[in-house]
Chain A
Amino acid sequence: MPEPAERELPGSRPASRTPEPPAPAAPDDTDLESGPRRALATLYGIFALAATARAVVQLATQFDQAPLAYSLSLLSGLVYLAATVGLATQRRWSRPLTLVAVCVELVGVLGIGLWSLLDPALFPHDTVWSKFGYGYVFIPVALPILGLTWWWRTRPGTSGDGDSAR
């Protein structure tokens, strides 16, 4: 792997917003505020799209079959959407919005995960959060934990520049 090739990607503008040292030094991956935030926003965005699209299709075509499950799917889609907006924006309300969305998500995935195991009859059709999100390789249960971890590590008052930040 030629080292210089890693600097430039096809289509990336020559003058990037953050000036980088010319030497192939380690990239600034200790900035917990922006990097993980973007990675999380990517995942949340895809889940927002997937859950919302799925719920809309199901509610539109087969609402009668499992009204509760499909309504909850729509709710989960909206929660993912809220978290995505919170992560992707940098406003005063962004971090509070992210926290609320991620907490609702955690409660939702744990609550519905448990509920769907205890009373499967209520969930003849799966939701994103059924059985702790097994249909989505358990990413739904991992996402809020990652989200909360990020939120806590980058909360105001911490230097936010490394795993050792306290």
Chain B
Amino acid sequence: MFDPVLFTLMAAGLLLAAWSGLWAYLRRPVNTVQWWWGAVLTGLLTVQSVVAWVRLIGPASVPETVTFIAYSAGVLIPLPVGLWMARLERTRWGSVALASTAVVVAVMLLRLWQLWRAGSA
């Protein structure tokens, strides 16, 4: 985990959550920019997790390896679900779904950071 990257991704997640949350409040469905924002974020999260796994195979180690791997894999799940729901549900409720999954991702990233920090990089 590279702190600046992780926190940038977390901020991107929170921004997406705030934006689609506002969209839900305004009774709007998820728009194209928001959708791609989520998609690109998912891609970047995937890269980050893969890099972390490679480093774990190498010199890096974390105290709770199983938990860390579960979180770094699990953090990739919510956004695709939210994006799929945003496509399926073209109402404000799709925005609610995307916003809440983005919040979950941000929280999981925080937990990932804590787990990584506890180890030796």
Residues in A lying within 8 Å of B, measured CB to CB = 1, 5-12, 16, 20, 26-29, 31, 34-36, 38-39, 42-43, 45-46, 49-50, 53-54, 57, 61, 136-137
Cβ contact within 8 Å between B107 and A137: yes
Interface residue? B48 (CB, 8 A): no
Which residues of the other chain, B, contact A46 by a CB distance below 8 angstroms?
77-78, 81, 101, 104
Given contacts A38-B85, A42-B85, 12 further A-B contacts (CB under 8 A): A6-B28, A6-B32, A10-B32, A10-B39, A16-B90, A27-B29, A31-B91, A35-B91, A38-B93, A43-B97, A57-B70, A137-B103
Chain B 22-59 per-residue mask, 1 if CB under 8 angstroms from chain A, else 0: 00000111111101100100000000000000000000
Give the size of the chain B interface in residues (CB under 8 angstroms): 35
Shortest distance between the CB of B99 and any CB in chain A (Å) = 9
Total cross-chain contacts (CB, 8 A): 89
Chain B contact residues: over half helix, strand or loop, or mixed?
helix
Interface residue? B96 (CB, 8 A): yes
Cβ contact within 8 Å between A42 and B97: yes
Residues in B lying within 8 Å of A, measured CB to CB = 27-33, 35-36, 39, 66-67, 70, 74, 77-78, 81-82, 85-94, 96-97, 100-101, 103-104, 107
- Checking B77, B97, B107 against A39 with a beta-carbon cut-off of 8 angstroms, the contacting residue is B97
